Every structure is written in structure tokens, then in C-alpha cells.
Amino acid sequence: MQERLDQIKKQLHAENFKLTPQREATLRVLLENEEAHLSAEEIFMLVKQKAPDIGLATVYRTLDLLCELKIIEKLNFGDGVARYEFRSEDHPHHHHHLICLKCGSLFEIEDLLDDLEERVERDHKFKIVDHRVSFLGYCSSCLAKEGHKEGN
């Protein structure tokens, strides 16, 4: 984790920003919960444990800055709650999401669209810089509770 913090610190400095204690606490929470797709409020509650004097507005400003610098990405899964995840340095859209409509569980799957992107770029002379895909449905746990077989 320290290596990634150091890397982000360099990125911040390159853009004339400092890694303040509040920003560091926010980044640590994001790194510790990288797979969780936390909301700003969830991040705030966890950051508050590390930095009790931090305010919600500071967390929001930090998240906005990290999004602006393309360190993290703000995601919307249609439930009215913005969530955050780290962006991949080498491939900005490195996975897709499966979202359970019953329990709200969120699962990541690998990017399935590389070949399609290349074809769209070639056939339509269009440079794609990003894409987002979310599949909505029901997870295996919810299907089992309802007595459904997977795939039906």
C-alpha cells in the first residue's frame, strides 16, 4: 500500500497538489477497501476513524480532486449513490460490473469488449477513450433464496 501511496503522492505533486493528512487518510481507506465500491458517505465514516477531525466536505473535495486527476473514478450504478474505485493506469476500463437488483451486491468481471472496441474504432473512425458496462440481474444467492436455478 505504501508504494501506491508514494506513487499517488508523486502524481499529486506533479499537478501542484500536496498529499495532506486528510487526503492520505482518504486514500488509505480507498486502498484498504479497493473492491468495495464505497460511497462518499461510507468513505467519510471510515476516514473519520483515522482522522476524527475531518469533515464530510473535505472528503468530497478530496474525492473530486482524485477523480479530476484520474486516480479514481466516480461510478453510478443507477441507485442514486455515487461510488468510487481506482482507475487502472494502463487500461482505464479494465472490468465491468454485475449488479444484483435484489440485494445490491456488486461483482467485477474482466473487460469483455476489447475486440469490439477495436472494430468500432476501425469501422467508424472513432477514437474510444472509455466505456462503462453494468449488467443488471440477480446474483446466485438471491436466485437460490427464491428457489430459481441459475441461468433461468
Q: What is the CATH number of the domain that holds 39?
A: 1.10.10.10
Residue 9's identity, in one-letter code, is K
Residue stretches of the annotated binding site = 94, 100, 103, 131, 139, 142
Instruction: Going residue by residue through the chain, which has 152 residues, state the pLDDT in tens, using 9 for 90 and above.
Output: 889 899 999 999 999 999 999 999 999 999 999 878 889 999 999 999 999 999 999 999 999 999 999 899 888 776 778 889 887 654 455 667 787 888 877 787 777 787 888 899 999 999 987 777 778 889 899 999 887 655 55
Residue stretches of the annotated binding site for Fe cation = 94, 131
Q: Which residue has the cell 475486440?
A: 115
The answer, as to whether pTM is greater than 0.75, is: no
CB 108 within 8 A of CB 35: yes
- Identify the domain boundary among 54, 87, 120: 87
Residues 6+ apart with CB under 8 A from 2: none
- Domain ranges, residue 133: 90-152
Alpha helices in the chain (DSSP H): 2-14, 21-32, 40-50, 56-68, 114-124, 140-146
CB 59 within 8 A of CB 29: no
Q: Which residues of 4-16 are buried (b: 16+ CB within 10 A; e: fewer)?
A: eeeebbebbeeee
pLDDT at 89: 57
pLDDT at 91: 45
- Identify the domain boundary among 57, 87, 117: 87
CATH number at 106 reads: 3.30.1490.190
pLDDT at 94: 60
Residue stretches of the annotated binding site for Zn(2+) = 100, 103, 139, 142
Provide the number of structural domains found in the chain: 2
